[in-house]
Structure 1
Amino acid sequence: MKRLFLYLIPVVSAAGACSHGSGGGVKLKTDLDSVAYVIGMNVGLNLQRMDSTLNAEAVCEGIRDVFRGKTRMTMDDAETFYLSYVNYALPEKARAYEEQFLEDIARSNRSYARTSSGVTYTVEEVGDQDLIPTSDRDSVALRWVIRTADGEEVTSSYERGDTVRSTLRNLRSGVRESVKLIGRGGKILSWLPASEAYGAEGDKELGIAPNSTLYYEIELLEVDKYANRYRRR
């Protein structure tokens, strides 16, 4: 995170001073002016992806102060504040928003229930109640679709035409908890808080951002009870 901060400062500084007002304040008279504007666009897009609620005028003021050679914080103070915000304040805001989001789902749809960990679910098919995975050593075969909170599909075993096979203990904790609520042939729809899914790290390969609330559609195809395997030995 420190590297990100140190990289961000010179990139933003290179964008040139922002103009006061709501746009159109700077005329692009030369090629260099246009280059500066393009850099500013790029910086703006990157900052918007990081946090679309940022105060653009405050960002511009920081750039202007760098060019004036008179900033309101030292670089050390700025780095300390930034890292504190990213590592502590921002995750807390995300958790509070997530909690409200999941509560609203449960309140607006009575078919949904919540577990103590925050997993918010509804069972579409209960499945075979004689074959419910209960031990973390039980093996299961699953098909699932994973989506982000805004509905974007992350991955689908249906589209890939494959089956996810795993012991329960090797699944994400929210998936493990969800699967234990249905039997073989069952289907469950679960909203997983970030802490029960990919956490603060996310998954770059899958395109899952840090602290993401995820929606899972899970179908339990097979259950191989550990106790039965143990008896067969």
Structure 2
Amino acid sequence: MKIIKFLGVVLAASVLSSCGGKVSKRELKTELDSVSYAIGMDVARNVKTNVSEIDSELFIQGYMNVLDSTNILIKEENCQQILSAYFQKKQQENMKKQQEEAEKGKVLGEKFLEENKSKEGVKVTASGLQYKVLKEGTGAKPTPESTVKVHYHGTLIDGTVFDSSVERGEPTTFGVGQVIPGWTEGLQLMSVGSKYKFFIPQELGYGARQAGEKIKPFSALIFEVELLEIVENK
């Protein structure tokens, strides 16, 4: 986090100090009014995200001590060092937490797939892709070079929806070889008109990568996929 982000907090602290803790309620009449308010909003979001545990009273005390050049508790040359050390520690803590959550998600995904593969109707390919035929079509099958039109509904193993053309009400068109490995393999099992359910292990999904806000590293994924059309079959 850049220290410049604290500019808006400094301004807010100054206002609070001069107004006895009361925040004025003004209308936005000019462009500068809007910019000033927007800076306050932006900084507040950053403070809540990065330093939610900040001690407001000590912050204001440090700000006022520097303005008055009196009772300064930290030497100026140590200030940046303290801040850098703090944010480095926070970054390491966050990375450790993310790694622990990813490992936990990986274990849960493996357990889910291990139990799922023995359920009625579930088939498993040599790669580890699991699928269930919901409806079998009679049309042609795509190749890795095909372009297809599909409807799909994607969830995590806990049922959280992360993407769905069904909910958007509009099918999606893409190349069979341009998606995650689990999709590329699964689509080639399907005939046009089919509807399958894919249970995709993390190594056939996004692996160690985060994909959007909801798909964490090492996540197993579930898709209901309906193959509507082969737009181009090379």
Alignment of 1:73-88 (within 5 A): 82=93, 85-86=96-97, 88=99
Match of 1:133 among 132, 136, 142: 142
Asked if 1:210 corresponds to 2:221, the answer is no
Taking structure 1 as reference, are residues 90 and 184 closer, same or farther at Cα in structure 2, changes over 3 Å only?
Answer: same
Percent identity of paired positions between Structure 1 and Structure 2: 24
1:10-61 deviation line (CA, Å, top 9, x unaligned):
544759xxxxxxxxxxxxxxxxxxxxxxxxxxxxxxxxxxxxxxxxxxxxxx
For residue 176 of structure 1, what is the amino acid of its counterpart? T
Question: How many matched pairs?
Answer: 162
TM-score (norm 2): 0.55
| Root mean square deviation, CA, Å | 3.5
- 1:195 deviation in Å? 3.6
CA positional deviation for 1:117? 3.9
Asked if 1 retains the 8 angstrom alpha-carbon contact of 2:194 and 2:227, the reply is yes
Match for 2:129 among 106, 119, 132? 119
Q: Does the 8 Å contact 2:193/2:229 carry over to 1?
A: yes
Match of 1:91 in 2: 102
Residue 181 of structure 1 is matched in structure 2 by 189
2:115 aligned to 104, 114, 120, which one? 104
Match of 2:75 in 1: none
Paired residues of 2:199 and 2:221 also in contact (CA < 8 A): yes
Question: Where do 5+ consecutive residues of structure 2 fail to align?
Answer: 2-47, 57-84
> Counterpart amino acid of 1:146?
G
Q: Which string of whole-angstrom CA distances, capped at 9 and with x for unpartnered residues, describes residues 186-209 of structure 1?
A: 1101122334334431213xxx23
Letter in 2 for 1:157: S
Residue in structure 1 matched with residue 45 of structure 2 by the alignment? none
Consecutive unaligned residues of structure 1, counting only runs of 5 or more, are 2-6, 16-73, 228-233
- The Cα of 1:83 is off from its aligned counterpart by 6.4
Q: Partner amino acid for 1:123?
A: V
TM-score with structure 1 length normalisation?
0.55
Contact 2:142–2:233 at 8 Å: present in 1 too? no
Q: How much has 1:87 moved relative to structure 2?
A: 6.3
Give the match's secondary structure for 2:109. Answer: helix
